[in-house]
Amino acid sequence: MKKAKQTKLEAAGWVVGSVKDFLGLSEADAVLIEMKLALSRALRDRRKKYGFSQVQLAERLQSSQSRVAKMEAGDPSVSMELLVSALLLLGASSTDLANAIRRSEKSKGRHAA
């Protein structure tokens, strides 16, 4: 959020913070959520890169289009294992998975240890 917008919201009485703070998440929980969202974005990007519809990907996964939509949206009912499996099915390597997670960490200002 831009600093000017944050200042305006705070002046109006709003409290500005992170989702982590609002939900009382531990640092580990916040990182896991970011990793899951990064894998979800990577799945959507890879599916589009190869020109698959959600229906076509669902057929390859022996699943449903609604499940693929949930996977791409980072729905809590979707496991990281399922996201990784789907990415591997689309030809992603372990390096591709690591890079997707690293990009997410960099965009949030975190650095891998």
48: CATH: 1.10.260.40
In order of 6, 7, 97, the CA distances from 12 in angstroms are 10, 9, 42
In order of 16, 56, 75, the CA distances from 63 in angstroms are 40, 10, 15
In order of 29, 31, 65, the CA distances from 25 in angstroms are 6, 10, 31
Render each residue's pLDDT in the chain as its tens digit; 113 residues: 788 998 998 899 998 887 788 888 899 998 899 999 999 999 999 999 999 999 999 999 999 999 999 999 999 999 999 999 999 999 999 999 999 999 877 665 544 44
DSSP state of 34: H
| Residue type at position 59 | E
Q: Which domain holds residue 45?
A: 25-105
7 within a domain of the structure (yes/no) = no
19 within a domain of the structure (yes/no) = no
- What is the CB neighbour count within 10 angstroms for residue 68? 25
34 within a domain of the structure (yes/no) = yes
64 within a domain of the structure (yes/no) = yes
12 within a domain of the structure (yes/no) = no
Q: How many domains does the chain have?
A: 1
112 within a domain of the structure (yes/no) = no
95 within a domain of the structure (yes/no) = yes
CB within 8 A of 57, min separation 6: which ones? 47, 68, 86, 90
17 within a domain of the structure (yes/no) = no
pLDDT of residue 108: 59
pLDDT of residue 1: 77
